[in-house]
Amino acid sequence: MSNFWLPVVTLWQRELVRFWRQKSRVLGVVASPLVFWLLIGSGSGDLGRFFAGALVLTVLFSAIFSTISIIEDRREGFLLSMLVSPASRTSLVLGKILGAATLAWIQGLIFLAFAPLAGVSIGIGDLLATIGAVFLVSFTLTGLGFVIAWRMSSTSGFHAIMNLLLVPMWMVSGSLFPMATAHGWIKVVMWANPLTYSISLLNGLLKLSSGSPGIGVSLLVTACFGLVLLLASGVVANQKSLVSNA
């Protein structure tokens, strides 16, 4: 077991150390959604309506920036050294995802500290549940970033794909308008969008909304999506053809 968990802990720690040396990332990742939330929320007179969406946007930005390290590690030769080491690729995957997810989670918690501005007042039990939910969302989005970044060799190409995929996903997740007011094919897309359930989960826990889908369904879908992405990350990392491309 130590042969599996030692690389996991080492890679997790490496991501935290790298982040600590790039403190400006905190400002960029947290400040952009914060400004967006304050402008949109203040303009509409309802900061609470957009809080969960801005929180997920913070986590999303962090997941994108953190999984770029996979491309940088490939370019610097670190990834190749990991692939040819005795450590299993599964431990490599878990270490990288946990490290990046922890960073996204921490930055999400920083944004969560602004919840009183949205009129959020919850008990310790709901707060702890929300903290856990933020980590689950962080883990899920990091897994998605890992799957995409693993096959990429260009950071600009990675940014383009992530923006093309994740920004529309976020926009039709209930962040900007509720599912109840959506019509036609947009409503179908929202039901099929995994981020819709992440937004619904956080809204429910923070007592900002009690609409459909509920907390139970949202938690189940988000957890299943995270598990699928973790398994997908393991599959792409264990493909032998990637050794030569690393």
Token digits of residue 36: 């967006």
Mean pLDDT of 54-72: 86
The model's confidence at residue 14, banded by pLDDT at 50, 70 and 90, is confident
Q: 174: domain range? A: 2-245
Strands (E), the chain: none
Q: What are phi and psi of 157, to 5 degrees?
A: -65, -40
Q: Is residue 213 reached through a cis peptide bond, with omega within 30 degrees of 0 on the bond before it?
A: yes
Task: Report the pLDDT value the prediction gives residue 151, as an integer from 0 to 100.
Answer: 81
pLDDT tens for 225-242 read: 999 999 999 888 887 544
pLDDT tens for 183-232 read: 888 989 999 999 999 999 999 998 887 666 889 999 999 999 999 999 99
Q: What is the pTM of this model?
A: 0.88
Task: Report the pLDDT value the prediction gives residue 192, as an integer from 0 to 100.
Answer: 93
Least confident of 34-43, 90-99, 215-224, 237-246: 237-246
Task: Report the pLDDT value the prediction gives residue 2, as an integer from 0 to 100.
Answer: 61
Helices (H), 45-88: 47-76, 78-83
Tell me how far apart the alpha carbons of residues 101 and 138 are, in angstroms, rounded to a whole number.
Answer: 5
Q: How many domains does the chain have?
A: 1
Tell me how far apart the alpha carbons of residues 188 and 182 are, in angstroms, rounded to a whole number.
Answer: 9
Mean pLDDT of the chain: 84
What's the CA angle centered on 121, arms 116 and 125, to 5 degrees?
125
For residue 169, pLDDT over 60 is answered with yes
Mean pLDDT of 148-168: 84
Least confident of 97-101, 117-121, 127-131: 117-121
